[in-house]
Structures are given as C-alpha cells and as structure tokens.
C-alpha cells in the first residue's frame, strides 16, 4: 500500500501525521510513505528524521492583510499543483492523508484530479481556511473537536469526530526517567511552562516576572524556544535553584516531563491540549491572541468550560495575575476533568480509516 502525506508550516501540523504513521506501521507492515511539504518548513526536517521520503512543492499562502507577497504567492499555487500532480502520478498513492495548512492545498487539488481518495484532519475547534476549502474534495474529514462540525456546512456527512492524535512517546512518559533527567525532587511540585513548538515570548516574560516567588513553592521546567538576545537578558535566573530551562525537548523527553508535571502553563494549541488531556494534567492556558480565527482561545474555552483548565488572556496579563491562577486551582479536580476530554486510540482510529483505502 502507498500512502501520501501532506501538511506543514508548523510542528503542530507535522507531529500528528508522524503519530498516525507510527500507528499505521504497527497495523500493516508493507506500507510505502511519501511526505509532501515545503522545503523551508519544519516538515522537511521532521519527515526525514522519521525515515519518511520527502518531496517539496511550492505553496502560496494567502495572507489576511495587504502584502506584495500575496501577489507572488498567487503564482506559486498553479506551479505547486503541477509539481504535486507529477509527484502523485509517479508515486501512485492509494490514499492521501492531509493535515491542513496552505501547503496542503496544491497536493489535495492534484490528487482530486487524479482520483486519489483524500482524508483530511482538522485539529482545531475553528477550522483553518485551507481545510474548509478542501472539504469539498475530501472523502472524509476527521475532526479533533465536535464543535468544529458546524463550520463544515454542507459536508457534515463526511465528518467524523476522532480527536487529535498524541505521540506514543507522550503516552509512554516515565516519571522515573523524568525526575532523573531533569534533576527534580520528589518533595516539591513540578510546574511545566511551555509555548508550543516554537516557544512563546509572552509566556516566557510572564514566567520570568514571577520566578523568585514561584520557586518558593514549585520546581519549574521551562521550555523557552529560541530566545532573542533581549529575551535572554530579561530571563534572570542567576542563583535560582529548582529552575530548569531548555530550548526544546525531543518526544521522549517531552513525555517524561509531562508525566512529572503537577501543573502545565501553556499556549492553547490543539496538539498540546490533546497531550495535556491524555495525561490528565491540570493547566493554565494563555491562548495566542493572533491565531487565525482566534482558534486557540476557542479551544482553550472547551477546556475551561468543563473545569479542566484556567484561561489567562494575554491582553492585560501580568506575572502577578499568572501567580494568582497558579495558586488558586484545585489541581486534582482539574486533572480529572482534563482526562475526561481525552479521546482514546486516536492515532489507531485514524490509521484504520486510512488503511480502509488500501488495495
């Protein structure tokens, strides 16, 4: 069986694809994968590191603001469709699994013309424009949240709510490895602060503001992403104990630190929340306010509405307000409610849906 994969632009599009690929490999041995994306996006590096063949196409991104780049990207789209069609003709896939994003559009259109079955996956409560556009060409649209179905008007019969796939390394996290790896103590609670696959400047600033006070009660593992020089200067950690900062962690390290965390402070990306829910972690969410369609805020509200998370809006936020929320929640109850939002075996369910199209 041959499976074509497409998605990219951020790690949030790529990681779920890799999680599904792992499940497919567990269910079926003789599968050939090919990943299509842009050469400049994280998908090129991540796919190759996972041992998946990768080919790039041009993809035009239509911005919501006036920019000369929109003119340039307008002409990229037909070239990308032609490139994707050449690749698909040569590869002869049995099915295309698309994670969305503007990079997916040329490949979906090309495969539709060639009669290749198409499965889309939408992670967010409010779908991206690319997936809304591509739904008409899809055979099936898998959704991370029930609330997303209302946006696919006219295509509800194609929609199935699966949840969002979680990397197996997250589910297999080890507290023993985590406490050793990160130098943690068992007699002090652990707070994990993170900003998603690329870090988050404002999350870093808020944590930095309260570090001395925070460390009186908590051990802190802080995933900063790449820091600019100015940010690095503002993150004053000299002489502070129980503070452990990292730019990034690999999948196993991420699983290990998440199972150790008594509380997570995070952006509200759909994949991060799927991981938080799957491990039953209480969380304080700081949605990225400039996300397209405010989708992070909408996703965070799903968790807040059931008592699984506390939301701190970035506008008007201060370190003091963050500290109040850290000290004010019933963590055990929040964790149980988070676990109630988790969907079981999402990667396996998606893998089985994809494999149905095998010959």
Please report the pLDDT score of residue 69 as a whole number.
Answer: 58
Burial class (CB in 10 A: 0-12, 13-18, 19+), 5: buried
As a whole number of angstroms, the distance between CA 278 and CA 22 comes to 18
List the domain boundaries for the chain: 2-164+344-355, 169-341
* pLDDT above 60 (res 340): yes
Name which residue leads in pLDDT, 29 or 230.
29
pTM of the model: 0.90
Position 273 pLDDT exceeds 50: yes
The residue ranking higher by pLDDT, 235 or 138, is 138
pLDDT tens per residue across span 56-103: 998 756 545 445 455 556 567 789 899 999 999 999 999 999 998 888
Taking the CA atoms of 331, 334, 339 and 342 in sequence, report the sign of the dihedral they define. negative
Q: How far is CA 295 from CA 3, 20, 45, 287, in A?
A: 29, 23, 26, 9
Q: What is the CATH number of domain 2-164+344-355?
A: 3.40.50.2000
Residue 63 is predicted with a pLDDT of 45
Burial of 174 (0-12, 13-18, 19+ CB in 10 A): middle
CA distance 152 to 164: 18
The whole-number average pLDDT for the span 246-259 is 93
Determine the pLDDT at residue 66: 44
Contact 338, 276 (CB under 8 A): yes
pLDDT of residue 91: 97
Q: Whole-angstrom distance between the N-terminal and C-terminal Cα of the chain?
A: 7
What confidence score (pLDDT) does residue 232 get? 55
pLDDT at position 70, please?
Answer: 53
Rounded to 5 degrees, φ, ψ at 184 are -95, 155
Q: What is the pLDDT of residue 61?
A: 60
Query: How much is the average pLDDT of 138-157?
Result: 96
Per-residue pLDDT at 234 exceeds 80: no
User: In terms of pLDDT, which residue wins out, 208 or 8?
Assistant: 208
Look at residues 269, 277, 254, 279 and name the one whose alpha carbon lies nearest to residue 192.
254
Residue 319 CA from chain centroid, whole number: 26
| Listed range (180-189, 197-206, 278-287, 339-348) with the worst mean pLDDT | 197-206
Query: CA-to-CA distance for 269 and 116, rounded, in angstroms?
Result: 30
Q: Which of 77-81, 301-305, 328-332 has the highest mean pLDDT?
A: 301-305
Which of 186-190, 247-251, 254-258 bottoms out in mean pLDDT, i.e. has the lowest?
A: 247-251
Same fold, 2-164+344-355 and 169-341: yes
Burial 61-78 (b: 16+ CB within 10 A, else e): beeeeeeeeeeebeebbe
Topology of 169-341 in CATH? Rossmann fold (3.40.50)
How is residue 113 written in tokens? 């013309």
| pLDDT at position 169 over 50 | yes
Residues 88 and 110: beta-carbon distance below 8 Å: yes
The answer, yes or no, to whether residue 241 has pLDDT greater than 60, is: yes
Cα–Cα separations (whole angstroms), residue 263 to 54, 212, 220: 37, 18, 10
* Number of continuous H segments (helices) and E segments (strands) in the chain: 15, 13
> Mind giving me the DSSP string for 262-295?
SEEEE---HHHHHHHHHTT--EEE---TTSGGGH
Task: Give the integer Cα–Cα distance in Å for 101 and 117.
Answer: 18
């Amino acid at each position: 069986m041959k499976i074509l994969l497409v998605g990219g632009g951020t790690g949030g599009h790529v990681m779920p694809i890799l999680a599904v690929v792992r499940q497919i490999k567990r269910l079926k041995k003789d599968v050939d994968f090919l990943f299509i994306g842009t050469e400049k996006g994280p998908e090129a590096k991540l796919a190759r590191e996972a041992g998946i063949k990768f080919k790039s196409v041009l993809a035009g991104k239509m911005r919501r603001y006036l920019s000369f780049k929109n003119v340039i990207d307008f002409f990229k789209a037909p070239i990308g469709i032609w490139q994707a069609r050449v690749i698909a003709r040569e590869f002869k896939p049995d099915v295309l699994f698309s994670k969305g994003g503007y990079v997916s559009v040329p490949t979906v259109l090309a495969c539709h013309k060639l009669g290749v079955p198409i499965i889309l996956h939408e992670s967010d409560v409010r779908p991206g424009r690319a997936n809304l556009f591509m739904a008409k060409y899809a055979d099936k649209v898998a959704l991370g949240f029930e609330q997303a179905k209302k946006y696919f008007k006219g295509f509800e019969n194609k929609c199935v709510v699966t949840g969002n796939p979680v990397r197996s390394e997250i589910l297999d996290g080890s507290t023993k490895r985590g406490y050793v790896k990160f130098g943690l103590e068992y007699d002090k609670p652990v707070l994990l602060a993170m900003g998603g696959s690329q870090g988050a400047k404002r999350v870093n600033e808020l944590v930095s503001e309260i570090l001395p006070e925070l460390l009186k009660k908590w051990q802190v593992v802080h995933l900063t992403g790449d820091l600019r020089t100015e940010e690095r200067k503002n993150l004053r950690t000299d002489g502070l104990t129980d503070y452990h900062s990292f730019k990034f962690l690999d999948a196993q390290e991420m699983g290990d630190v998440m199972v150790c965390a008594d509380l997570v402070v995070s952006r509200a990306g759909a994949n991060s929340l799927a991981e938080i829910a799957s491990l039953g972690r209480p969380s304080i969410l700081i949605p990225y306010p400039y996300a397209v369609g405010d989708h992070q805020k909408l996703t965070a509200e799903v968790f807040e509405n059931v008592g699984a998370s506390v939301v701190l809006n970035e506008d008007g936020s201060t370190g003091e307000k963050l500290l109040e929320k850290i000290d004010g929640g019933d963590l055990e109850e929040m964790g149980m409610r988070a676990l109630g939002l988790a969907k079981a075996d999402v990667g396996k369910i998606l893998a089985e849906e994809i494999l149905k199209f095998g010959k």
